[in-house]
Structure 1
Amino acid sequence: MDPFLSLLHSFSSSLTDGELSAMKFLCRDKIRKRKLESVQTVGELFTILLEQHDITRENVAFLEELLGNIKREDLLSKLKQFVDEGEVNAPEDQPDPHEKRLQKVAMEVICDNVGRDWRMLMRKLDLCDVKIDRIVAANPRDLREQLVQALREWQRWRGRDAKVADLITALRSCSMNLVADRVEQKLSLLSNGAR
C-alpha cells in the first residue's frame, strides 16, 4: 500500500465537516465550482487534488498550506515528519544506512556551498526540469530550501542507486571543484573518525 495515500487517509478521517468546508473554500481557485459542490468528504477532495496534481508525494506545498490555514498543526507536523523521513520509498529501495549517513553529510556541505547554480547541478544528476520547476514554485523565495528539496527529490527518485560518488562527479562536471573537495574532505574526516 502507498504510504502517502495511507497518510492522506488518516488525515481525512481526523478532519471535521467544518474543516472540510474551510478546505473546500480554500480550493475554489483550484477546483471548478460544480465539482467542488459535489465533494462530500475530505477523501473526495484529496482525490480531486491528487488527480489534478495539486498535491503529489513529491510536492506537498499546497497540502501544507491547506492544513496551515485550517490551523491543524498536528497534521502539518505529521506531514513534515513524513516528508523528512522520506517515507515515499519502500525500505528495500533505500540506500544502506552507511550510504545514507554519507549522503546526509555530503548534502549538508552542498547546501552550504552551492548557491544560484544548484539547477545546473541537479540537471547533471538527471533530475528533470518539471520537478525542478515544482520545487522552485513550492519554495519561491528560499534558495537553500530549493536545493535541499531538490537533493531530497533526487535521493527519493534514485533510491538505493543514489550514491555520494554521483554527487561528487556531478559537482566536478559543473566546475564546482571546491565544493566537491569540501565534500570529500568532510567524508574523509567522517570515515577517519569512525575508525
Structure 2
Amino acid sequence: MDPFLALLSSLSSSLSASELHELKFLCKDKIGKRKLESVESGRELFSFLMEQQLISSHDVDLLKRLFKTIKREDLVSRLTQFIEEGEASAPDERPDINERRLQKVVIEVICENVGRDWKMLMRKLNLSDVKMDRIVAANPHDLREQLVQSLREWQKWKGKDAKVTDLIKALRDCNMNLVADIAEQNLSRLNTENM
C-alpha cells in the first residue's frame, strides 16, 4: 500500500464535517464547483487535489496551509513527520539510515544557528532561486520554517547523494565556520555515543 495514500486516508478520518466544509470552501479556487459539491469526505477532496497535481507525496505544502487555516496543527505535524521520516521518497532514493541520522543532527544545528543568510547557504548547495522563492511565499513570516523547508527540498532533490559533508562544506564556503564547528562537534559526540 502507498504510504502517502494511507496517510491521506487517516487524515481524512480525522476531519469533522464542519472542517471538511471549511476545506472545501478554501479549495473553491482550485477545484471546479460541480466537483466540490460532490465531495463528501476528505479522501475525495484529496483525490481531486492530486488529480490537479496540487498535492503529492513530494509536495504537501498546500495541505499544510489548509490544515493551518482550519487550526489543525496536529494534522500539520503528521504531514511534517511523514516528510521528515522520508516516507515521501522511494527507499532506494534515500541515504542510508546512518547518513539520515547524521543529517538530522547537522540540520538541527543549521536551523538553530543560521539566520537571514540561509539563502546564501542554500545557493552553495545549488538549490534554485525558484524553489527558494516558492518556499518563502509559502512561509512568508517564518524564517526558521523557510530554512527547514529549503533543507528538506535539498534532501529530496539530492536523494541518496545528500551528504553531511556537503552541508559542512557549504557552511565553510559561506564563512559560517562557527556553525560548521558546532555541527562537527555534535557529529563526533553522536559517533562517540554509538561506539
Instruction: Write the letter of the residue equivalent to 1:25.
Output: F
Q: Distance in 2 between matches of 1:151 and 1:73?
A: 21
Q: Taking structure 2 as the reference length, what is the TM-score of the superposition?
A: 0.78
Q: Distance in 1 between matches of 2:178 and 2:82?
A: 33
The question of 1:140 aligning with 2:140 is answered: yes
**Is the 1:20–1:41 Cα contact (8 Å) retained in structure 2?**
yes
- Taking only aligned residues, the RMSD between alpha carbons, in angstroms, comes to 3.0
Q: Structure 2: any 5+ residue segments left out of the alignment?
A: none
> Where does 1:24-43 land on structure 2 (aligned, <5 Å)?
24-34=24-34, 36-37=36-37, 39=39, 42-43=42-43
Instruction: Write the letter of the residue equivalent to 1:54.
Output: L
Aligned twin of 1:102: 102
Q: CA deviation at 1:157?
A: 2.6
Q: Distance in 2 between matches of 1:70 and 1:182?
A: 38
Q: CA deviation at 1:75?
A: 4.4
Cα displacement string for residues 117-157 of structure 1 (whole angstroms, at most 9, x for unaligned residues): 11121122122333222322222111112111211222233
Aligned twin of 2:154: 154
> Where does 1:34-113 land on structure 2 (aligned, <5 Å)?
34=34, 36-37=36-37, 39=39, 42-69=42-69, 75-113=75-113
**Is the 1:59–1:135 Cα contact (8 Å) retained in structure 2?**
no
Q: Distance in 2 between matches of 1:96 and 1:87?
A: 13
Deviates more, 1:31-40 or 1:110-119: 31-40
Cα displacement string for residues 10-53 of structure 1 (whole angstroms, at most 9, x for unaligned residues): 44466566654332212123334455446565444323323444
Q: Structure 1: any 5+ residue segments left out of the alignment?
A: none
Deviates more, 1:153-162 or 1:184-193: 184-193
Q: Taking structure 1 as the reference length, what is the TM-score of the superposition?
A: 0.78
Instruction: Write the letter of the residue equivalent to 2:174.
Output: C
Q: Distance in 2 between matches of 1:180 and 1:133?
A: 25
Deviates more, 1:23-32 or 1:135-144: 23-32
Deviates more, 1:156-165 or 1:67-76: 67-76
- Give aligned pairs, total: 195
Question: Secondary structure of the residue that 2:88 maps to in structure 1?
Answer: coil
Cα 1:71/1:110, change in 2 over 3 Å: closer
Q: Runs of 4 or more off by more than 6 Å in structure 1?
A: none
Cα 1:134/1:191, change in 2 over 3 Å: same
Cα displacement string for residues 151-193 of structure 1 (whole angstroms, at most 9, x for unaligned residues): 1222233222211111112122223233223322332333344
Instruction: Write the letter of the residue equivalent to 1:188.
Output: S
Aligned twin of 1:184: 184
Deviates more, 1:120-129 or 1:16-25: 16-25
Q: Distance in 1 between matches of 2:104 and 2:119?
A: 19
Cα displacement string for residues 40-72 of structure 1 (whole angstroms, at most 9, x for unaligned residues): 654443233234443343442331343455566
